[in-house]
Structure 1
Amino acid sequence: MLELEHGFRVVDVHAQLDPDEQAVATHGRDISPERLQREMHQAGVVRAAVSPGPRPRGEGYLRANNAVARLSVERPFVAMARLNGPRRVGASAGSRLRNLAAVPGDHHAEPGDVEQYAYDHRFHGFVVDPTHDGLPTEAVLEQIGATDSPVLLHSSERVPPAAVAESVLEYDFPVVLTSFGGFPLDRARMDEALALLDSYDDLHLDTSFVRYREVLERGLLEHPDRVLFGSGAPDTHPDVGVMEVLTLDVPEDLMTRAFTKNPVRLFPGLATGAED
């Protein structure tokens, strides 16, 4: 694929890096760190936040997180630690009962893990996917707030934006809701997430897999400080996400905010690197 030519410094808040053969076998994709780096370069992305993809349920993320951190060294990547937990998101009676009885297992994240991940900025934030991994305990979420780290949070039909607001946004850390909360292509959830921006100052949205031009334009025009570029690589080539923003009918200043200013404000590690 030819390299994109544009005058923007693009950084990416949402990419995954499969750290080993088991992960490649699980996801059915062979995306090495070198290939991901090459695809980012082709898209004009100078730096990306990367995290492990989902592991089998019942398996922890310590080894995968450490592998991603190791593979990020001397590459234009900053590592994000993926966290799991025993709780469910939601206000239903079943969810409340489950959460009251939830006991963390040996494979679940603990507050001490968060403290170690954040030490000396080895990891630059956290990734939470409640649908696949469960929601971390209150103690873990409180520890994230103590580290002043951002959280990239995956939404889904089972975990819509309103449930995220009820369960996560009460804590003292910024949340980046992936795909405007509407993956895969659920426009109603995207509209719901945009509406929540008026009520929650610490809520942000990333652009990954938002294929509706009007939704992206509305987000940038109405909330220029709250939209961050995310590619969703390697499930999609980063070229695709970059082009979707480049072809919007919005001022270049708003593109600069999404591509650079907004991500760097939440993820300072994306601002530096020898490759800049």
Structure 2
Amino acid sequence: MFALTLAFAALAQPALAGVGQPSPWQMGLQVPVTEVAHYIGQFHNGLLWLISGIVLFVLALLVYVMVRFNEKANPTPSKTTHNTMIEVIWTVVPVLILIVIAVPSFRLLKLQLVPPQADLVIKATGHAWYWSYEYPGNEGEAFSFDANMVPDDQLQPGQPRLLATDNEVVVPVNKNILVQVTAADVIHSFAVPSFGIKIDAVPGRLNETWFRAEREGVYYGQCSELCGQNHAFMPIAIRVVSEEEYSAWLAEARQKFAATGRPVTVASRVPAAE
């Protein structure tokens, strides 16, 4: 029954899961809007059917053994201690199952960890307990800003509690966005479920992740590493807009966030070997 419930949850996912944020009574992953998130959803649902089949098969074997080999039905038990064929089967079959699982899992890892050529690079730094973001640019064009959670008494209509921020990250739709992630104090974790991204922000180390959002909207995430007292109050809000809207926001943001006059430094990437 539990396995069937899980399988139903996978089928019901599109109707019950939220876009960009969790939904009441959600039973599946958030609706994916990137290639990586789509692949994660497919991999998750495929594994769900596989493990459901294994659970039902093992349950059937247990029921058969209880009925066929109980004391009443089988008063004189066999003295057999080994069966070579059965031992080969229960060794080889799990190995084959793991190989079947490994192939798509390695493909997913490559998709996640080998970013394509970036159209935009953003640096995200985790602090206790908020995020700051840096947009690179030429002299006088670079800027950075902090993003703090909006308190309950200041929420505007449409802003979700514990997820909305006073300043949102804004990116263009259908563009490769490379996010370089680090931390200023303790270990944090940058995660946005609808994008299928989650990567640790480690002090003194620069990690990276990427996404290419297929549809406009606001997508929320949170720090996913237990980082201290206010761990639950450092959300991530990313607004995906058209290229025209992004250009207008960029011009406004350069004025709003008072560029320091020096370029924001982001790490350059060495193309991964094919």
Point out the structure with the larger helix share: 1
Query: Does TM-score exceed 0.5, indicating one fold?
Result: no
State the TM-score, normalizing by the size of structure 2.
Answer: 0.22
Higher Cα radius of gyration: 2
Point out the structure with the larger strand share: 2
